[in-house]
Amino acid sequence: MLSSVKALLSSVVDYAGLFPPAKLNMGEAMANYARYQTAPYSWMLGHFVLPASRLSEFEALLPTLPLVEGKTRQWSLSVIVSGNWESEIERVRSHNHSKLSIAALEFPPLPPPEIKRILPHLPAKVDSFFEIPLTGDMEAYLTLLQGTGASAKIRTGGITAEAFPNSTQLYPFIAACAAAKVPFKATAGLHHPLPGNYRLTYEPDSPSATMHGFLNVALSAALIYWQKITQEEALTVLNQSSSDEFQFKEDGINWSACNLNLREIEEVRQRFFRSFGSCSFEEPINDLKELNLL
């Protein structure tokens, strides 16, 4: 295992098995997450993504999946907040369960004035991600989040072709977050390391669409964050469909004449590109194995 790959992808996949296209029931999704914690590539596993409205259902099933000392760790949740954010944030503040930790809150697209109302109520030591619609006034959102400790969230796909932004939509978001020093996470549509035409669901007759690659998003974010590439180069990185264009080495990753060392990769993951949500953990793993990166 190359240190550069581990630095780029540690805890990068927030497991969202409850959501489409997987749409598993609670027991199935929880069993998967527990199993992934004991898998060889558990170091890539981030939070378990859970709607706030299903927290009681989750807690009721927890006793059926006991923690195994030395194998499984405390459950780490990223809770999706609904429109009823006041009561749900209060529940997060008051939750007291030794087997789980609420590590993050994720908010749906909201108008900036509503986000401004929420910010003072965010619990300490819990990451918060506010989804920013690409059709909105991005500057207004990022100005509001700047310096608050809160982060942005971008939707990079869904179960329809229209849900996937193209590179010319994705690049301005990443560049604006970097300029504002606002961290971000991505959600949906990033099951695969490299861009390509993939099926939208797991149904045999599912239509296909062009999807982004999570390697491309992570590496373009790092190169943009460190101001190593131009806009034109960033678009090239986002659209790169062959892993041969990226040189993964023990002490860093190269693209063209640009180099990212381990310290730069680690910092960009801590301070800028935080993670991506995926309803599959196994697809990213299997694809990375095919690329000989795992």
Token pair 């953990």 is at which residue? 281
Residue with tokens 């400790």: 149
pLDDT of residue 99: 81
Sign of the CA dihedral with 20 first, then 26, 28, and 29 last: positive
pLDDT at 95: 80
At 195 the pLDDT is: 96
What pLDDT is stored for residue 28 in this prediction? 96
Distance CA 118, CA 107 (A): 10
pLDDT tens column, 245-283: 999 999 999 999 999 999 999 999 999 999 999 999 999
Residues of the chain with pLDDT under 50: none
Tell me the Ramachandran region of residue 19: left when phi exceeds 0, alpha when psi lies from -120 to 50, beta otherwise: beta
Integer Cα distance of 77 and 71 in angstroms: 18
Task: Tell me the C-alpha distance between 183 and 152, whole Å.
Answer: 6
Please check whether residue 273 is in contact with residue 7, taking contact to mean a CB–CB distance below 8 angstroms.
no
The predicted pLDDT at position 119 comes to 97
pLDDT of the residue at 151 = 98
State residue 83's pLDDT score: 80
